[in-house]
Amino acid sequence: MKLKIGITCYPTVGGSGVVATELGKLLAERGHEIHFITSSIPFRLDKMYHNIYFHQVEVNQYSVFQYPPYDIALANKMAEVVEREELDILHVHYAIPHAVCAILGKQMSGRDVKIVTTLHGTDITVLGYDASLTGAIRFGIEKSDVVTAVSTALVKQTDDLIRPDKDIRTVYNFIDERVYRKTDSAHLRTEYGIEPHEKVLIHVSNFRGVKRVKDVVGAFAKIREAVPSKLLLVGDGPEMGTISSLVKELGIEEYVLFLGKQNNLEELYSISDLKLLLSEKESFGLVALEAMACGVPAIGTDIGGIPEVIEDGVNGFICPLGDLEAVASKAVKALKDGALYAELSRNALETVRTKFHRNRVVDQYESIYKELI
Ligand code: GMT
């Protein structure tokens, strides 16, 4: 059965935008008609598909309004697209504001379009603590037909914080392993000045406080004392100034490469040995999965959904939040023991190919849609 599916996400925001866009592409490959209803073309929509459409939400600034009315403009656009294109499903990413906009858009359209909401974390772990928003988050969740969250930890956290009268189902994230795979990018090692005997650690994020990049740098300084290595810091964000000062303070400027925002991350993972994801909030940790798909094991914190992606001692290591000694000792162990490293790397690839395989996840979403029609 071919379905007509509207997808709304923040097209330029990290993981949630990536997952929403990749899901749209894979559903289109399965023959469904996909309508992105977003404020700009999702950045991962990088090639032409005959059955993917983009409907831009225009938000005008009027001097009478203190804030541009994005939510209302989005609901209006959703109603217009649902009605004209006869959509079966609106799949929105984030309870706030997207689920609430979908509910309003559905009412405005008068069509019985079904609403599927996927929670990614920031909408719950940050906004869920804001009493001025919890009622709206609960409303968005309860009035959706089906709600999914990207990890079981996020389901629990949503139940604890928001207490909605709704069963939330776990549907894990996935990556397209046709894109994220080991590639031959060895030339980058020489170009970045990485010596043949040096190991490479990598961290990728938007450098927000919750990502604890300072812990990444602190742990790396300890790792370097035992293993000659370099650290690739990929991304940019509010903590960048603090991090570059810390690197100077620790006297490790020579060994830390600030690469800024980058595309084609598989090329950087392919020259890396270990990934560090030491966040204090992380409902899934898509970047760990991206690294694992290139055969790079990750060390993560025992926070949110990270332990559902990284299995301690199997495909990487889990450490308590802020325990830099533990991170350093596990990293050194993995980097020095060739047999252990090979096993972690093999298991990382296997995890991506089984538990988080794209077909498995897309099957789950597809069966949710079909169950609603
Ligand atoms: O982590 C961010 O700053 C971006 C955020 C987002 O909304 O894209 O990421 C969230 O969704 C990703 C995709 O589901 C998850 O992999 C991230 O763990 C999650 N971030 C947090 O929970 C902090």
Alpha-carbon span 184 to 194, nearest angstrom: 16
| Domain ranges for the chain | 4-174+357-372, 187-353
CA-proximal residue: ligand 1, atom 23 (nearest): 282
Q: Does domain 187-353 have CATH number 3.40.50.2000?
A: yes
Alpha-carbon span 331 to 87, nearest angstrom: 49
Q: Is 13 touching ligand 1 by the criterion CB < 6 Å?
A: yes
- The whole-model pTM stands at 0.95
Q: Is 121 touching ligand 1 by the criterion CB < 6 Å?
A: yes
Alpha-carbon span 135 to 161, nearest angstrom: 11
Question: Residue-wise pLDDT tens for the chain (373 aa)?
Answer: 899 999 999 987 689 999 999 999 999 999 999 999 999 988 888 788 999 999 999 998 887 888 889 999 999 999 999 999 999 999 999 999 999 999 999 999 999 999 999 999 987 877 767 888 999 999 999 999 999 999 999 999 999 999 999 999 999 999 999 999 999 999 999 999 999 999 999 999 999 999 999 999 999 999 999 999 999 999 999 999 999 999 999 999 999 999 999 989 999 999 999 999 999 999 999 999 999 999 999 999 999 999 999 999 999 999 999 999 999 999 999 999 999 999 999 999 999 999 999 999 999 999 999 999 9
Q: Is 237 touching ligand 1 by the criterion CB < 6 Å?
A: no
Alpha-carbon span 179 to 295, nearest angstrom: 13
Give the ligand 1 atom nearest the CA of 284.
Answer: 18
* 83 Cα–ligand 1 center, Å: 31
Residue 214: in which H helix or E strand, if any?
A: helix 213-226
Give the residue among 322, 319, 310 at the shortest CA–CA distance from 348: 310
* 284 Cα–ligand 1 center, Å: 7
Burial of 160 (0-12, 13-18, 19+ CB in 10 A): exposed
Instruction: Establish how many alpha carbons lie within 13 A of residue 85's alpha carbon, considering only the half-sphere containing its beta carbon.
Output: 26
Q: Which amino acid is at 337?
A: D
CA distances to 254, 288, 310 from 317, rounded to whole Å, are 27, 11, 7
Bond preceding residue 97 cis, omega within 30 of 0: yes
Q: Is 164 touching ligand 1 by the criterion CB < 6 Å?
A: no
Alpha-carbon span 330 to 223, nearest angstrom: 9
Intrachain domains 4-174+357-372 and 187-353 with the same fold = yes
> Which pLDDT belongs to residue 12?
76
Q: Is 282 touching ligand 1 by the criterion CB < 6 Å?
A: yes
Q: Is 19 touching ligand 1 by the criterion CB < 6 Å?
A: yes
> Which pLDDT belongs to residue 63?
78
Give the ligand 1 atom nearest the CA of 150.
Answer: 14
Alpha-carbon span 253 to 233, nearest angstrom: 12
* Cα 288-172-139 angle, rounded to 5 deg: 120
> Which pLDDT belongs to residue 13?
65
> Which pLDDT belongs to residue 47?
81
Alpha-carbon span 126 to 280, nearest angstrom: 12
- 355 SS3 class: coil
- 7 SS3 class: strand
Structure-block tokens of residue 62: 């009027």
- For the domain made up of 4-174+357-372, give the CATH fold: Rossmann fold (3.40.50)
Strand order in the sheet with 89-93: 52-56, 33-38, 4-8, 89-93, 114-119, 146-149, 168-170
Q: Is 170 touching ligand 1 by the criterion CB < 6 Å?
A: no
Is-contact 117 136, C-beta < 8 A? no
Residue 35: in which H helix or E strand, if any?
A: strand 33-38
Structure-block tokens of residue 284: 């899934």
* 68 Cα–ligand 1 center, Å: 25
Please give the torsion angle defined by the CA atoms of residues 319, 325, 328 and 332, in that order, rounded to the nearest 10 degrees.
Answer: -110
Q: Is 125 touching ligand 1 by the criterion CB < 6 Å?
A: yes
Q: What is the ipTM of this complex?
A: 0.98
Residue 187: in which H helix or E strand, if any?
A: helix 187-191
Q: Is 210 touching ligand 1 by the criterion CB < 6 Å?
A: yes
Residue 326: in which H helix or E strand, if any?
A: helix 324-336
* 278 Cα–ligand 1 center, Å: 14
Q: Is 156 touching ligand 1 by the criterion CB < 6 Å?
A: no
